[in-house]
Chains A and B, each alone.
Chain A
Amino acid sequence: MSTTTTGTITTAEMTPAVKRYFSKGLLPTAIPNLIHTYGVSQRNMPSNAGNTMRLKGYDVLADATTPVASADADPGPASVSYRFVDAQIQFYMQHVRIEEQVELTVEDSVLNETGSLLGVSVRTTEDTLTRNVMAATASLSNASNGPTSDIPTEISATDVNNVSRALRNNNARFMSPQIMGTTAVGTQPVRDAFLALTHTMAINDLNVLGDGTFKNKNNYANANMGLPSEEGSFGNVRFFVSSNGYVESDASAVGGVDVYNAFIMGRDSTTIIKQDGFSTRLMYGKPQGPFFRYATMGWKMAYAGRVTNDNFITRLRFILA
Chain B
Amino acid sequence: MENTSILQTGSFTADGTTQIINFRGKIDWIELWNHTYADSASAQDKGYRFYWQTGMGTDGLVEYHTGSNQEQSINGTGTGAFTVFDASTYAGGSLVSVTTATNPGGGQPVYTVSATTGINANSIVRLKNVVEDTGSLKSPLNGLDFSVDDIDNGGTNFRLKNALMGAPGGDATTGGQYKLVAPSLATYKLFKPRTRVIGKIDVSAPTAPVVSTLVDHGFAVGDAVKFSITNSNYGMTQINGLTGTVTNADNAGYFTCDIDTTGFTAFAWETVFTLSNPYPTVTPVGAAGGTAYEELGTPSFNQGYTGMVLAGGALLPGGDANTMYWKAGTSWSSM
Residues in chain A within 8 A of chain B (CB atoms): 52, 54-57, 81-88, 90, 97, 129, 132-133, 135-142, 144, 149-152, 249-256, 259, 304-306, 308, 310
Contacts and interface: CB of A to CB of B under 8 A. Distances in A.
B126 A84 contact: no
A253 B289 contact: no
Given A129-B302, A152-B277, A249-B92, A137 B285 contact: yes
Interface string B158-187: 000000000000000000010100000000
B142 A253 contact: yes
Given A85-B286, A87-B301, A310 B142 contact: no
B49 interface: no
Contact of B278 (A85, A140, A251): A140
A146 B288 CA distance: 38
A136 B215 CA distance: 13
Given A136-B195, A308-B286, 14 more contacts: A52-B299, A83-B285, A83-B286, A85-B287, A85-B300, A86-B287, A88-B301, A90-B301, A129-B190, A136-B189, A136-B300, A137-B285, A140-B228, A250-B177
B211 to A, nearest CB: 16
Interface stretch (B50-58, B257-265, B290-298, B317-325): B290-298
Scoring B140, B273, B285 by chain A CB atoms within 10 A of each residue's CB, the highest score goes to B285
Interface of B: 91-92, 95, 126, 128-129, 138, 140, 142-144, 177, 179, 189-195, 224, 226, 228, 273, 275-279, 281, 283-291, 294, 297-302, 335
Contacts of B190: 129, 132, 136
B283 A310 contact: yes
A252 to B, nearest CB: 5
Contacts of B192: 136
Contact of A140 (B91, B191, B276, B281): B281
A61 to B, nearest CB: 14
Contact of A250 (B126, B283, B299): B126
Nearest to B302: A90
Contacts of A151: 143, 275-277, 279
A51 B101 CA distance: 46
A132 B285 contact: no
A89 to B, nearest CB: 9
Contacts of A150: 275
B153 to A, nearest CB: 27
Given A142-B277, A250-B128, A252-B143, A84 B288 contact: yes
User: Which of A55, A82, A85, A255 has its CB near the most chain B CB atoms (within 10 A)?
Assistant: A85
Closest 5 CB pairs of A and B: A86-B299, A256-B128, A85-B286, A88-B301, A84-B287
Contacts of B300: 85-88, 133, 136-137, 304-306
12 contacts: A57-B286, A83-B285, A85-B285, A87-B301, A129-B190, A132-B189, A132-B191, A151-B279, A250-B126, A251-B126, A253-B140, A259-B143
A129 B190 CA distance: 9
A197 B140 CA distance: 29
Contacts of A133: 191, 300
B67 to A, nearest CB: 48
A136 B193 contact: yes
Contacts of B297: 84, 86
Contacts of B194: 136-137
A85 B286 CA distance: 4
Nearest to B95: A250
B282 to A, nearest CB: 11
Given A137-B194, A151-B143, A86 B277 contact: no
Contact of B291 (A55, A84, A253, A308): A84
A55 B285 CA distance: 12
Nearest to A255: B129
Contacts of B91: 249
Nearest to B92: A249
Contacts of A85: 285-287, 300
A139 B277 CA distance: 14
Contact of A83 (B143, B279, B289, B302): B289
A250 B126 CA distance: 8
A52 B301 CA distance: 9
Nearest to B335: A97
Contacts of A135: 189, 191
B277 A84 contact: no
B189 A256 contact: no
Nearest to B303: A90
Contacts of B335: 97
A255 B138 CA distance: 10
A57 B287 CA distance: 11
B299 A87 contact: yes
A249 B301 CA distance: 24
B289 to A, nearest CB: 4
Nearest to A133: B191
Contacts of A56: 289
A250 B178 CA distance: 9
A139 B299 contact: no
A55 B224 CA distance: 14
B33 to A, nearest CB: 32
B281 A310 contact: no
B183 to A, nearest CB: 16
Contacts of A57: 286
A145 B298 CA distance: 36
A83 B287 contact: yes
A55 B331 CA distance: 44
A304 B191 CA distance: 10
A263 to B, nearest CB: 13
A87 B302 CA distance: 10
A256 B139 CA distance: 11
B197 to A, nearest CB: 9
A142 B195 contact: no
Nearest to A135: B189
B306 to A, nearest CB: 13
A136 B219 CA distance: 13
